[in-house]
Structure 1
Amino acid sequence: MPFTDRTDAGQRLAHRLTPLADQDVVVLGLPRGGVPVAHQVAAHLHRPLDVVVVRKLGVPGQPELGMGAVGEDGVRVINDHIRRRAGVDATHLAEVERRERAQVDSRAARFRGDRPRTPLTGRTAILVDDGIATGSTARAAAQVVRAHGARRVILAVPVAPPEAVDALRDEVDDLICLETPSMFLAVGQAYAHFAQTSDAEVVDLLSRDHTGPSSVPGPPPSSTTADQDVTVPAGTVTLPGHLHLPAQPLGLVIFAHGS
């Protein structure tokens, strides 16, 4: 698998985006899973981190199949091909859209709290997610940030199917994708660990100052524990090891010796 977890993916993506460090950039994570990835990018570039909240419009009875998406400020993207194939009429589409718009408003308030939206007018917006499946959510997010006045929109993700990348190139000014597997099944297939990101983790990451020297990329706080054997690829060899991770660690110590 290309990525260990979202932290690993974010750090790799951050290094690809290093040339943007001297530009007026705002990093925008797509909650929830895109925010830990965006955290690494914002910390590496020393630029502010915010969210752009969009919701997939799932086909009734098949919520994982997206027929479009809605975002803040009334943005709406519909994939008519999927909608027609699924037999969704205007009435059912309106019901799904009404429900998801309420979620957009609620989540935006929950994630930001009393903090104002980071201004985008005249700036470069880097949209970051943990991966792309159909691209409807990313497309809606790009339209949201353009409506907020972003001068340039860059979409940066660790993994996506080639056809989604091709379809999205016209929606943004630049698109960076680290992995485009031809046999794409789901975003999670690119990760060894793909646990769900919690609302609390998103709120915590957004509350951090990413613009100063203390914003060196690091793993977000975890409420889980680990005690397992692991293997670490090191060039042409693989090193065996043991990982012990207590709940809510302050940091990690990695000990390696040559015996």
Structure 2
Amino acid sequence: MVWTHTSSHPVATTAVFGPWLGRILMRLRAALSPAPTAPGWPAAVIAAADQLPGTDAPGIGLRRIGRHAAATPAITPTASLRGGAPAPVAIAPAAARFYGLDEEAVSVVYVLSHRSGAGLTCLDWLADHGLPFRRIGALHATAPVWSAPQGALLLVDLDTLGGISEMTEPLMRLRLGRPDISVVLLSEEVETHDFGTERLVLADITLRLPCAFASFEFALAEAPINNAAWQERLLGDQR
């Protein structure tokens, strides 16, 4: 509600503030008049604004917001606009890819493990990338790893084979008999990854399980490099 003050001495007010104030007060009174006697612009607009939608009476499509009317417009749900509930979109996670590994340089991957079923996440990674791998259960004299082609790689799941104490002798025999096979040890018992050359007599790389995909890729790429150092050491000992 707007309150206006009508002076009892309009002439004096006009004299003091000038004719413009009188004109403003007259326009305010005319605009706030609830029911003009003659049809004019304010009455036509108000009547058109008060026209309810869906009736036959003419209107201009406006809605008058009163004191108790909700000022917030209604929001139509997105599902109603589309004609139904939106169908959920399944987004498949991006598959991890090898970037630092020359996959063509790996002829075959032997996995020495006694785990039942899949067990090792790295087997899924090998399968996803199409790297050929073969599971074996021992390093005895007739094991296929002894006749492996050039570029072969061996993953040794130590925790299912009795630990490093049980595998020390078989690994040393393999390192001397087939020094060209890159060997990566996998274990939950080691404190951290080892990408150095301190354990070359047993393996080229040691990974702590569980390991991230990036660590596994780095191990596969680094193992042949350390293996070359191991072969160079053996040749030096033989001279």
Q: What TM-score does the superposition give when structure 2 sets the normalisation length? A: 0.22
Which protein shows a greater Rg?
Answer: 2
TM-score (norm 1): 0.21
Q: Which has the higher strand share?
A: 1
* Structure ranking higher on relative contact order (CA contacts 8 Å, 6+ apart): 1
